[in-house]
Amino acid sequence: MHSLAQDNTDDPVLTTAAAARLLGVAVSTTQLWLESGALPSWKTPGGHRRVRLSAILKLLEDRARKREAGGRVSLAAPVAVPDTGTAAPRAHPLALDEAARLAAVEASRLLDSPPEDVFDRLTWLATQVTECPIALITVLSSQRQWFKSRIGVDFKETPRDWAFCNHTILQDRTFTVDDAERDPRFADNPLVTGPAHIRFYGGIALRDAGGQALGTLCVLDREPRRLRDREFKALEELAAIASEELVRRT
């Protein structure tokens, strides 16, 4: 059991409460799973249970396989978007300290960096806990919305002015759009009118050690919807883990 507690930045350690939020079950249920060994865990010197994110992922993968065996498929096929070369610029909100934010993005060296398992696990988990077909970890430069991690789309970036995340990085809480087609801010967005056919968006800003929003963790769907309370909490927990990983790098 000692090996489970070894420090591993690619496989974060979670509390029982955090694990329960990600799994969408009661804390008492999670405690039973931990104590029974259904979820591999260990105790801290203070007697508190801890579990690795990878153990949560494995349990959710097992549950997903069972659902798919019963005829349900959780993820839709990836889609491509039209060529962005001729797209007309679109107005989008900017932070008052946008220059400082862009400097933080540059200092992070995240743009065009290789994929990393820790972020790919978080986007995969985001699709599982929200049942959305698309999840992204985005980084917003002055002109680009680039995806550090992506599930459900083939394209690696969009123009900055297409990004729903422009609104998210200005807020301290989850930003949602229940039906983009009916929202005047997004109804004519190419991600809505084009083959991506986005209708729902939910995102949380990811911040560095200085509090600057580098990008977001977001989930998207091709049908209008609303997040349930447990889905909000799970998404917030995943965003906190992603932000902690970003802080390690800055």
pLDDT tens, the chain, 250 aa long: 334 445 555 788 889 888 888 877 777 778 877 876 778 889 888 888 899 988 888 877 776 665 556 543 334 456 555 555 545 556 777 878 899 999 999 999 999 999 999 999 999 999 999 999 999 999 999 899 999 999 999 899 999 999 999 999 999 999 999 999 999 999 999 999 988 899 999 999 999 999 999 999 999 999 999 999 999 999 999 999 999 998 887 6
**Residue 90 included in any domain:** no
**Residue 226 included in any domain:** yes
Instruction: Verify that 103 and 60 share a domain, yes or no.
Output: no
**Residue 84 included in any domain:** no
Rounded CA gap, 98 and 80, in Å?
30
Instruction: Verify that 172 and 127 share a domain, yes or no.
Output: yes
What's the domain range around 42? 2-69
**Residue 161 included in any domain:** yes
Which pTM does this prediction carry? 0.73
The CATH number of the domain holding residue 38 is 1.10.1660.10
Which residues contact residue 228 at a Cβ distance below 8 angstroms, ignoring those fewer than 6 apart?
Answer: none
Are 102 and 178 in contact by the 8 Å Cβ rule? The answer is no
**Residue 150 included in any domain:** yes
Domain C-terminal end among 69, 88, 116: 69
Which residues contact residue 25 at a Cβ distance below 8 angstroms, ignoring those fewer than 6 apart?
Answer: none
**Residue 115 included in any domain:** yes
Q: Give just the sign of the alpha carbon dihedral 144, 150, 153, 156.
A: positive
**Residue 86 included in any domain:** no
Are 60 and 125 in contact by the 8 Å Cβ rule? The answer is yes
